């Protein structure tokens, strides 16, 4: 089991995930996440869910590239691909609140995974963010082209996506990529206090707030998400991309070690 559900109270669910060795978003991660999303939607008492990695070095490393075409196929209830975009849209539209508590590396789809939550809180000392796709001749295909600029504005989103570089939590917070960077020793207590508060409020108020906000604030359209996803998969077939991916695998991509720990600097 990649995802472990810990029920703090009837309205407050903690989800701890671990997909050794480096918490990649792979086929199994995708399948279990779909199952988990179904369960969360079916839980009518759920008010708030907190996702955290139990791997201290990786939140979500990035998408697993060798079996990218074996991901679950088809579209989900939102009309988007069930492999990930459908999950992201369901989190956005959910009647409960979703919070990402981030330690370790959140790069590529790992960063886009974090962006799909209603809020993000990051360890000042231990969180690292990057959109590394340009290092494989591509660009964020899982919502990053749509959601990152809504958080950071166009100029900073372009900087992040065009540099491919690693960003520490304080820079991420100053850019709006995360709500806040919090000292690692206080992060768990802060998020627990916030989720605990939310779980004590009325579900109907929580649901109304999310519904109204989703119709007031700009959220990505399905057309935008699908357009980018199609272009992303096409880009991976380009010779330049294939060569870059091959070279990175030779240097240790998707293996525990120096390359994955310092991927932003090494692409």
Told to check if 137 binds a copy of itself by CB under 8 A, we report yes
Cβ distance to a copy of itself smaller for residue 60 or 191? 191
Figure out which of the listed residues 120, 142, 187, 260 binds a copy of itself, where binding follows CB under 8 A: 120
d(CA 22, CA 65): 13
Query: Other C-beta atoms within 10 Å of 205: how many?
Result: 11
Q: What is the DSSP letter of 10?
A: T
174 is an interface residue for a copy of itself by CB under 8 A? yes
Which of 57, 159, 184, 192 forms a contact with a copy of itself (CB under 8 A)?
159
Q: What is the b/e burial string over 176-193, where b = at least 16 CB atoms within 10 angstroms of the residue's CB?
A: bbbbebbeeeebbeebee
Q: Is 217 in the site for a copy of itself (CB under 8 A)?
A: yes
Residue 164 binding a copy of itself, by CB under 8 A: yes
Q: Which stretch binds a copy of itself (CB under 8 A): 14-22, 103-111, 133-141, 245-253?
A: 133-141
For residues 33 and 1, the answer to whether their CB atoms sit within 8 Å is no
Site for a copy of itself in 218-247 (CB under 8 A): 218-220, 224, 227-228, 231, 235, 238, 240-241, 244
Q: Which residue has the tokens 């963010």?
A: 129
Residues whose CB is less than 8 angstroms from the CB of residue 250 and which lie 6 or more positions away in sequence, other chains included: none
248 interacts with a copy of itself by CB under 8 A: no
Which CB, 73 or 215, lies closer to a copy of itself?
Answer: 215
Alpha carbons 45 and 206: distance in angstroms, whole number: 12
DSSP 267: -
76: helix, strand or coil: coil
And the tokens for 128? 């690292």
The residue ranges that bind a copy of itself (CB under 8 A) are 97, 118-120, 133-135, 137-139, 145-146, 149-151, 153-159, 161-165, 171, 173-174, 176, 179-180, 194, 197-198, 201-202, 204-206, 208-210, 212-213, 215-220, 224, 227-228, 231, 235, 238, 240-241, 244
């Amino acid at each position: 089991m990649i995802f472990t559900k810990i029920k703090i109270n009837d309205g407050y669910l903690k989800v701890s995930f671990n997909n050794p060795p480096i918490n990649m978003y792979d086929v199994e991660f995708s399948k279990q996440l779909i199952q988990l999303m179904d369960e969360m939607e079916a839980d009518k008492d759920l008010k708030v869910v907190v996702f955290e990695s139990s791997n201290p070095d990786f939140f979500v490393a990035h998408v697993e590239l060798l079996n990218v075409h074996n991901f679950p196929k088809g579209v989900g209830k939102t009309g988007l691909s069930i492999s990930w975009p459908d999950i992201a849209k369901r989190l956005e539209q959910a009647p409960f609140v979703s919070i990402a508590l981030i330690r370790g590396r959140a790069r590529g789809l790992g960063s886009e995974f974090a962006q799909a939550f209603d809020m993000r809180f990051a360890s000042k000392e231990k969180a690292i963010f990057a959109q590394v796709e340009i290092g494989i001749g591509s660009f964020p295909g899982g919502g990053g082209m749509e959601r990152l600029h809504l958080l950071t504005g166009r100029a900073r989103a372009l900087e992040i996506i065009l540099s491919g570089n690693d960003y520490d939590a304080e820079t991420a917070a100053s850019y709006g990529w995360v709500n806040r960077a919090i000292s690692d020793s206080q992060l768990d207590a802060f998020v627990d206090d916030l989720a605990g508060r939310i779980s004590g409020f009325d579900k109907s108020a929580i649901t109304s707030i999310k519904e109204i906000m989703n119709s007031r604030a700009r959220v990505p359209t399905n057309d935008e998400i699908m357009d980018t996803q199609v272009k992303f998969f096409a880009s991976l077939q380009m010779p330049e991309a294939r060569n870059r991916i091959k070279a990175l695998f030779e240097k240790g991509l998707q293996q525990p070690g120096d390359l994955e720990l310092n991927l932003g600097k090494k692409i």
